[in-house]
Amino acid sequence: MTHIVIKTSELSAEDAADLSQFLEAYEIPTVESHAEVERLIAEVERLRSDLEAEYENAKDVTHDMRRLEIRAEAAEKRADELKGERNNLREGVNQLCVIHGIGEKARNLGTLSICVSNAHRFSGYLHAVINAHFVKKSPIDDAMESAVSVWGAKSKEHVVEEFGRALAARDLETQIKALESLLEIPLSSCGPVKVEIVSHSSIKERIQQLRQQQKGVQ
């Protein structure tokens, strides 16, 4: 900052009056002594230092505000995502309620939980029956295979038909095993008891017929 010191005592009265009017017109402060000038310079330096500090604080505040804006934008975006997820969850629960036949007035997580638990329990019963009575080793390898497949079923009627075929095949298998056991009984073991003896050839023929029927129901 440049300071100009003018000794008015060295000016004429007319020049001093003109200078005074000029300073007043442009609102230029005047001082009466060198000490006052030094005081004003120190005050200006202090004000400038304060202004610089305020400027730095303002920059920090601006940065903080920008960070807050970024966090607010992220929070708003996440809120929209959560809103979408909540809508999807509500729609999913509603679809599950429709699948389980739950009426609109009873659609809540408690009712849905009971229905899902019952469905899981009943499916466990069904698979226990299938594993106990319709699963056996494959004749080709040691892999286990089931005569009933409910996973690919398209309707209740399809499942009933699957079980019907499996039960018919199982009944035929029982008959075949009974006839095969007759082939293992020697005729001499019949003793003097008069029985109607069926020839081995006719038994084998009947077994063959049952095998053909078994293929038809599988």
Give the residue from 90, 88, 116, 94 showing the smallest Cα distance to 107. Answer: 94
Comparing 68 with 192, the larger pLDDT belongs to: 68
* Confidence (pLDDT) at 194: 39
Instruction: Say if CB 154 and CB 196 are below 8 A apart.
Output: no
Tell me the Cα Rg of the chain. Answer: 52
Please tell me the distance from the alpha carbon of residue 158 to that of residue 161, in angstroms, as a whole number.
5
pLDDT at 118: 94
Dihedral sign for Cα atoms in the order 96, 99, 104, 105: negative
Residue 110 near residue 130, CB atoms below 8 Å: no
Q: How many CA atoms lie within 13 A of 179 on its CB side?
A: 20
- Report the pLDDT averaged over residues 75-80: 93
DSSP output for 54-83: HHHHHHHHHHHHHHHHHHHHHHHHHHHHHH
Displacement of CA 27 from its chain's centroid (Å): 72
- Residue-wise pLDDT for 6-44, tens only, equals 555 566 777 767 767 776 776 666 655 567 667 777 888
**Given the structure tokens 């329990």, which residue do they identify?**
121
Cα separation, 58 vs 200, in Å, equals 109
pLDDT of residue 40: 76
Q: Hey, where are the domains in the chain?
A: 8-99, 100-133, 136-217
d(CA 147, CA 164): 11
Confidence label for 136 from pLDDT (cuts 50, 70 and 90): confident
Residue 150: HSE in the Cβ half-sphere, 13 Å Cα cutoff: 16
**pLDDT tens for residues 154-202?**
788 888 888 888 888 888 888 888 887 777 766 555 554 434 445 667 7
Q: Could you count the other beta carbons within 10 Å of the beta carbon of residue 153?
A: 14
Please give the Cα distance from 64 to 58 (Å, whole number).
Answer: 10
Length of the chain: 218
In the chain, the percentage of residues whose pLDDT exceeds 90 is 20
DSSP state of 21: H
> Does 56 score more than 80 pLDDT?
yes
Q: E strands within the chain? A: 135-137, 144-146
